[in-house]
Amino acid sequence: MAKYYITTPIYYVNDVPHIGHAYTTIAADVAARFKRLAGDDVLFLTGTDEHGINIARVAERHGVSPQAWTDRIAAEFQRLWKFLNISNDDFIRTTEGRHQRVAQAVFQRLYEQGDVYLGSYEGWYCPSCESFYPDSELGPGRTCPVHTGRTVEWTAEESYLFRLSKYQRWLLDHIETHPSSVAPEGPRNEVLALVRSGLRDIAVSRTTFSWGVPVPFDRRHVIYVWIDALTNYITAAGYLDDPEKFARYWPADVHLMGKEIVRFHAVIWPAILHAAGIAVPRQTFAHGWLTFGGQRFSKSLGIVIDPAGLSREIAAESGAEVAVAVDALRYFLLREIPFGSDGDFSKPALIQRFNADLANDYGNLLNRSLPLVERHFQGRIPAPGPEEGGDAALRETAASAAEGVAPLIDRLDFRGALEEVWRILNAGNKYFDAEAPWRAAQAGRMDRAGTVLYNTLEAARIATILLSPWLPTATARAWEQLGIAAPLGSQRLADARWGGLAAGTRVRPGRPIFPRIEARRPAAGGAATRTSDAGVSEAGGPGMNQITIDEFKKIDLRVAEVLEAKPVAGADKLLELRVRIGGETRTLVAGIAQQYAPAQLVGRKIIVVANLQPRRVRGVESQGMLLAASHDDRIALLGVDGDVPSGAPVS
């Protein structure tokens, strides 16, 4: 039996999960489910990355211990995965003992063989943050990205370093001789360019914070993210703990992730493994970014989609059960966007797919055929007679499509795989119409009517098996309607072979699985899709300039506290403000420099539009807008009456 080990990244628990995390995890889940369907022995891993100074800080801000904080957020991730029907076999947390032991063992081993050595890490350091920042993150004039205006200092810190440079040659050779080791092409080229440009040794320990795994032989240090986080993949595969398991599952077949972290996985990780004498993963696959109306998702910009809320909205608008709406989201993400490319997410597009693909093509095939079985064959699937008409063509389409799916999944071409399955559904609908079993029944040709119904339902059955990785709930419902005794979960790819449907099966037609979502009004983003771009209201109209309460509610107004203010270079009317909105900090650019001096503003509570589309003004990205009254050329900032914490909503 072939094995298949697939991972998502372990997600950093500095914040609650969002649709970006869900996208990666859903993709991995579909691949894992498909491989199980194909009969492989699958290990599907996800988890959370829980160490580091940022976790310590966010925990402190919330007045809880780091452990309490990570417990809470890790639970949120697990809850979401359950809601999204994710079938992970394991969920690893870097704070678990099993993982700490592996991280320490790898560190120790690399140290003992000289691949990790004591040196120093140098970089731009912000004393307020107690953190180093790369050049690229520094503000203008070498200032801290968190503490605006605070200049960073070039500082050296004692640190253990990993001899990444030593493995440059080997790594380049490895990637070049293993074309699919990094995919798709864009990320692969970037990694190659990076490796060719030369690799420097990297710091793998820190002394500036303690929330981490201690370096076993030097308690002043904790193991930094490279070795701490990446080793989770071998921990969960049983490294050290369960040699038999490790031998079975390692190396990983696919490390799936967003393209922003591919370099760590494709450069540092294989080097560490190779140095430690452990086989390297077969493939690091980077998918693209999700955008909303062309904008990158970003918590700080207020462009956030909560997958659970969205699923509930779809369920409410359609009448489908929530788990089926979850299926629709799973389907949409992998059907609409070619995996590996960036793609745009929008609720109207999701509704479009829901109606056109799931309701019309898939759901309706059952809804038009099962009642005829009920009506003319006492609810029992008739036995097929001799092939005629389009029978053979349908059978062949189903067979070739069923065979075509697996190789596409191997390439993580989910979109192509779904198109294959849709060949069956389209052929089934067309066949049903052409062969018109209701007419045959009317004419008394019951054998023919029965044959057509059998063939149609057989196509539906095969499609249902093939779709089960994407639509675990909906296909289970379809399976129930088909009345097949063996549970869907017991089915294998081999069962998706023509002729597997048993005549005499008692069908159980039910309510439509995917009730169409009728476009009463253009569906604007609801609570789950907080975005600047959701508005679809028509200009004008009978209400003139009136807006509905719902339209008003789209504007996310918040109380914000001004942390810092300074003039924008080259503009005499603009000020750049750093404001705190609840737990986050943002930059705003406001045209109030002629009315307010920077010093007047610091500490004030103002009102801001928190979900406005960000915009660059004079080279500075403004992530919102403050509210002010204006009269002639006087401008007066809006504030709050009394002491209200920043982040409080305004309505």
Partner RNA sequence: GGCGGCGUAGCUCAGUUGGUCAGAGCACGCGGUUCAUACCCGCGGAGUCGGGGGUUCGAAGCCCUCCGCCGCCA
Q: Rounded to the nearest whole angstrom, what is the least distance from the CB of residue 203 to RNA in the complex?
A: 16
- The 261-280 site mask, x for binding RNA (CB under 7 A), equals --x-----------------
Of 315 and 493, CB closest to RNA: 315
- Extract the runs of DSSP E, i.e. beta strands, from 368-515: none
Q: Give the integer Cα–Cα distance in Å for 26 and 86.
A: 7
Q: Which two tokens stand for residue 140?
A: 């203008």
**Are 288 and 343 contacting, i.e. CB atoms less than 8 angstroms apart?**
yes
Phi-psi sector, 132: left (phi>0), alpha (psi -120 to 50), beta: beta
Q: Which two tokens stand for residue 340?
A: 């590996």
Q: Binding of RNA at residue 368 (CB under 7 A)? A: yes
CA 538 to chain centre: 33
Residue from 259, 275, 273, 191 nearest 231 by CA = 273
Beta bridge partners of 46: 91
Q: Rounded to the nearest whole angstrom, what is the least distance from the CB of residue 61 to RNA in the complex?
A: 27
Binding segment toward RNA, per CB under 7 A, in 49-57, 428-436, 593-601, 617-625: 428-436
- The 124-143 site mask, x for binding RNA (CB under 7 A), equals -----------xx-------
Of 85 and 426, CB closest to RNA: 426
Q: Binding of RNA at residue 622 (CB under 7 A)? A: no
- Extract the runs of DSSP E, i.e. beta strands, from 238-396: 254-258, 284-287, 290-292, 295-296, 304-305, 343-345
Q: Give the integer Cα–Cα distance in Å for 348 and 355.
A: 11
Q: Which two tokens stand for residue 414?
A: 């989910």
Choice from 341, 400, 594, 600 touching RNA (CB under 7 A): 341
Q: Which secondary structure element, helix H or strand E, spans residue 309, and what is its range?
A: helix 307-318
Choice from 372, 488, 560, 606 touching RNA (CB under 7 A): 372
Choice from 344, 480, 495, 551 touching RNA (CB under 7 A): 344
Q: Binding of RNA at residue 156 (CB under 7 A)? A: no
Of 408 and 638, CB closest to RNA: 408
**Are 524 and 297 contacting, i.e. CB atoms less than 8 angstroms apart?**
no
For residue 15, what are the contacts with CB-CB under 8 A and spacing of at least 6? Answer: 58, 73, 299
Question: How crowded is the C-beta side of 173, counted as CA atoms within 13 Å?
Answer: 6
Q: Rounded to the nearest whole angstrom, what is the least distance from the CB of residue 428 to RNA in the complex?
A: 9
Residue from 635, 651, 569, 557 nearest 600 by CA = 635
Contacts to RNA from residues 311-340, by CB under 7 A: 336-338
Q: Binding of RNA at residue 432 (CB under 7 A)? A: yes
Of 222 and 373, CB closest to RNA: 373
Q: Binding of RNA at residue 595 (CB under 7 A)? A: no
Beta bridge partners of 206: 222
Q: Rounded to the nearest whole angstrom, what is the least distance from the CB of residue 246 to RNA in the complex?
A: 33
Of 27 and 252, CB closest to RNA: 27
Choice from 16, 261, 349, 638 touching RNA (CB under 7 A): 349
Q: Is 135 exposed, middle or buried (0-12, 13-18, 19+ CB in 10 A)?
A: exposed
Binding segment toward RNA, per CB under 7 A, in 137-145, 301-309, 422-430, 596-604: 422-430
Q: Rounded to the nearest whole angstrom, what is the least distance from the CB of residue 139 to RNA in the complex?
A: 15
Residue from 285, 287, 286, 278 nearest 249 by CA = 278
Q: Binding of RNA at residue 614 (CB under 7 A)? A: no
Q: Binding of RNA at residue 613 (CB under 7 A)? A: no
Binding segment toward RNA, per CB under 7 A, in 82-90, 102-110, 161-169, 359-367: 359-367
Choice from 363, 450, 526, 624 touching RNA (CB under 7 A): 363
Contacts to RNA from residues 158-187, by CB under 7 A: 185-186
Q: Rounded to the nearest whole angstrom, what is the least distance from the CB of residue 532 to RNA in the complex?
A: 16
Q: Binding of RNA at residue 361 (CB under 7 A)? A: yes
Backbone φ, ψ for residue 33 (5° rounding): -65, -40
- Neighbouring CB atoms inside 10 A of 5's CB total 26
Q: Which two tokens stand for residue 6?
A: 């697939």
Contacts to RNA from residues 180-219, by CB under 7 A: 185-186, 189-190, 193-194, 197
Choice from 364, 451, 529, 613 touching RNA (CB under 7 A): 364
Q: Rounded to the nearest whole angstrom, what is the least distance from the CB of residue 44 to RNA in the complex?
A: 26
Helix-strand-coil split of the chain, %, nearest 5: 45, 20, 35
Q: Sign of the C-alpha dihedral, residues 544, 547, 551, 552?
A: positive
CA 106 to chain centre: 30
Q: Binding of RNA at residue 66 (CB under 7 A)? A: no
Backbone φ, ψ for residue 582 (5° rounding): 60, -125
Of 293 and 639, CB closest to RNA: 293
Beta bridge partners of 622: 615
Binding segment toward RNA, per CB under 7 A, in 67-75, 125-133, 433-441, 488-496: 433-441
- The 482-521 site mask, x for binding RNA (CB under 7 A), equals ------------------------------xxxxx-----
Return residues touching RNA (CB under 7 A).
135-136, 185-186, 189-190, 193-194, 197, 259-260, 263, 296, 336-338, 341-344, 349, 352, 355-356, 358-364, 367-369, 371-372, 415, 426, 429-430, 432-434, 438, 512-516
